[in-house]
Structure formats: C-alpha cells, structure tokens
Amino acid sequence: AQYKVIVVGASGAVGQEILQVLEEKKFPVGDLKLCATSRSAGKEMLFKGNTYKVEETTPSSFDGMDIALFAGGAASKEFGPLAAEKGVVVIDNSSHFRLDPEVPLVVPEVNPEDVKWHKGIIANPNCSTIIMVVPLKAIYDAAGIKRVVVSTYQAVSGAGAEGISELTEHTKAVLAGDEVVPAKFQYQIAFNLIPHIDVFQEMDYTKEEWKMVKETCKIMHDDTIGITATTVRVPVYRSHSESINVETKRKMTAAEAREVLAKFPGIILEDDPSNKKYPMPLFSSNHDEVFVGRIREDNSLDHALNMWVAADQLRKGAATNAVQIAELVIKYGCLGKR
C-alpha cells in the first residue's frame, strides 16, 4: 500500500531531514505534499528525483491525506487538531501536544505500543529527550532507575538554519577581529558555551530542562524517576551530546551496562578508552543511532553509572524518530478515522 503524506514546515532544517529520511527508508509515499508558511511558499524541493513546490499551509491542504508530518513550530497548534479531525494521522515535532494526556509521546525503541492508542495526534519528543531515553530504557529494563542527572551539549542546528549560520558568522567575526552580533543566541556562540536554551521558568530551570524532566517520565510511564537537567548550547553544528549519571535500583556493573546497551536497538556502543573510542558529535552526525560510551561506575555512589552519549538531533532527535513513528502507524494499522 502507498500513503498520501503531507510535510508541514518542509523547508526548514527538520523538514529537509524528514524528506531525506522518507527517501532513505523507502517509506511508501504514494502522494507527497510540501507545505510551509507563506514566507517559504514557492520554494522548490527534491524528493526521489522529482521537484515539489512548497505550498502555503491552509485547512484544505490536509484533505485526503493519510499522514501529516509536522516539522515543528506554531503550525501544529493551528492545523494539528484540524488535520486529525479530517482523519489524517498527525505526527508532531513541536512541543505543543507532548504532555497532553490524550496524545502519545513516542520513541519507537522505548514505548512503541503507545502509538496504538493515538486519537489522531502523536507527539515526537524533544531531541535531547529522545537521545537520553534510548540508553535509559536499556538500563531501566535491566536494573530499574531511581534518579538521573543529565547535562547536555546541544548543537546550534537545534535552533534551526539561523543557528547554523550564526555559528559560522560569529566564528568568522572572531577570527577576523570584527564585531560579533548575537541574534539567534543570547551571546556570542563561537568559542563560548551558553547555559540557556528556550526560556527560564519555575525554579530557574529553562523550558528545555523541564522538557527533559517531564517528557522522560511520560515516555517511560514512570513518574517515580527523579530527573534533573542542565541544557547548554555549544559551538557544534550538528548532534547533541549528553553526560548522563543514572542511579539504578539494583546494582549494575559497567560491564553489565555495556552488555545491555550494546544489544539495545538503536544504540551503537563506542566504549574503548584504551583505544580512544568514545562518541563525538563530529562522527555521530548523519546517523540514526544513539552512540554511547565512557561508561563507568560512579566512584561516589554505590548503585550509579556515568555515560556519555551523542546523536544526530536532526535525525534521531527529530526527523528519523518521526518517520519511525509513521512506520509504526502503518505496522499497527492505526491510520486515522475517516
């Protein structure tokens, strides 16, 4: 069978990745429609060797479509429910519906079954959450989890195409001795780290940090897991990295952790310090797996482990995860109610 697919926000960084992943994974696209705001309407994009013109998103854009992949941003709030009303299965990258109890929040390697109870909208978690919960699930199944402490090192492309160009511009300006003009980021991002992603909220945590806390408990179906996060923007173009400390319920050695992580779907273990083997964003980019390494027992706490992970946040962190959800919708036969 083939499916009528509409990509909303097609011209942005995530939208472009969605098209690439749909093509790479040979998703059964029968009919493709690319939509975006009026600002991007008219742009031409390639898919499977054919040129498609980006149209402005309107309510009628969704007529007769089977699956809508929203790349993120405000469009989901305006058009998501409307598309679902029309019987289109909406897979949304924005944060808008993630914590809605009526909306499943899904990472296919972690909670695939949640796709089955969708009521028209399925939410894609935040990229930094997806990258963390894949290895956490392997540990959780083997030893249980009491608490997680995570610090992230997030690429500038998490802030879209403007984030990418700002790193380039700031780097050139610094090297040329010119004035640096922050626009997308709060400060100069070249040769700097900015511990501020999204807005500050209660307890002086940012919205990005609260996303990691709340989304993880929903995906893992376990509100007893204690999570605290610090999210940081770093001068890296692509791939988020994360330093994760996990306190487990049952003792787990580093060797046991390596064993379960190596076997877990969607993970590539890169953990051989004597040969300088560990994950790095330069090498995890353009892949779909979460790379895990630097696994060590916590020297300061009995039942705890450290690990360092890196993954392409435009792919596994967004586009690939969304397309994998679409594949589950087909596998489980839970397309929209016409």
Instruction: Evaluate whether 166 touches 189 at the Cβ level (below 8 Å).
Output: yes
Provide the 10 A C-beta neighbour count for residue 176: 8
Q: Indicate which single residue of 15, 108, 158, 266 sits in contact with ligand 2RA (rule: CB under 6 A).
A: 158
In which element (H, E) is residue 230 found? strand 226-233
Which segment (29-37, 151-159, 280-288, 327-335) binds ligand 2RA by CB under 6 A?
A: 151-159
The answer to the question of whether 284 is labelled as a binding residue is no
- From 120-128, 171-179, 303-311, 321-329, give the range in contact with ligand 2RA by CB under 6 A: 120-128
Site for ligand 2RA in 205-224 (CB under 6 A): 208
Q: Three-state DSSP class for 237?
A: coil
- Chain-centroid distance of CA 322 in Å reads 9
Closer to ligand 2RA by CB, 10 or 159: give it. Answer: 159
Q: Cα separation of 60 and 71, whole Å?
A: 19
Does 132 bind ligand 2RA (CB under 6 A)? Our answer is: no
Distance between CA atoms of 264 and 135, rounded to whole angstroms?
8
Q: How far is the CB of 231 from ligand 2RA (least distance, A)?
A: 8
Whether residue 127 lies in the annotated active site: yes
Single out the catalytic residue among 96, 118, 170, 240.
Answer: 240
- Of 125 and 135, the one with the shorter C-beta distance to ligand 2RA is 125
* 313 carries a ligand binding annotation: yes
Task: Map residues 170-209 to x or -, x wherever contact with ligand 2RA holds by CB under 6 A.
Answer: ---------------------------x----------x-
Mark out the alpha helices in the chain (DSSP H runs).
Answer: 13-24, 75-85, 127-143, 161-176, 207-220, 254-263, 281-284, 320-331
In whole angstroms, give the CA distance from residue 187 to residue 288.
31
Q: Hey, CA dihedral for 234, 235, 238, 242, is it positive or negative? A: negative
Nearer to ligand 2RA, 269 or 311 (CB): 311
Does residue 127 interact with ligand 2RA by CB under 6 A?
Answer: yes
CB of 80 to ligand 2RA, least distance (A): 18
Crossing angle of helices 127-143/254-263, nearest 10°? 120
The residue number with the shortest CB distance to ligand 2RA is: 158
Residue 161 class from Cβ within 10 Å (0-12 exposed, 13-18 middle, 19+ buried)?
A: middle
* Binding residue for ligand 2RA, selected from 57, 126, 245, 324, defined by CB under 6 A: 126
User: Is 13 annotated as contributing to ligand binding?
Assistant: yes
The answer to whether 118 is a known catalytic residue is: no
Tokens, residue 135: 């290895």
Distance set, CA 329 to CA 1, 30, 288, 289, 333 (Å): 13, 16, 19, 21, 6
The distance of closest approach from Cβ of residue 213 to ligand 2RA in the complex, given in angstroms and rounded to an integer, is 14
Q: Does 57 bind ligand 2RA (CB under 6 A)?
A: no
- Choice between 61 and 152, CB closer to ligand 2RA: 152
235 contacts ligand 2RA (rule: CB under 6 A): no
Catalytically active residues, by annotation: 127, 240
Contact residues toward ligand 2RA (CB under 6 A) are 126-128, 154, 158-159, 197, 208
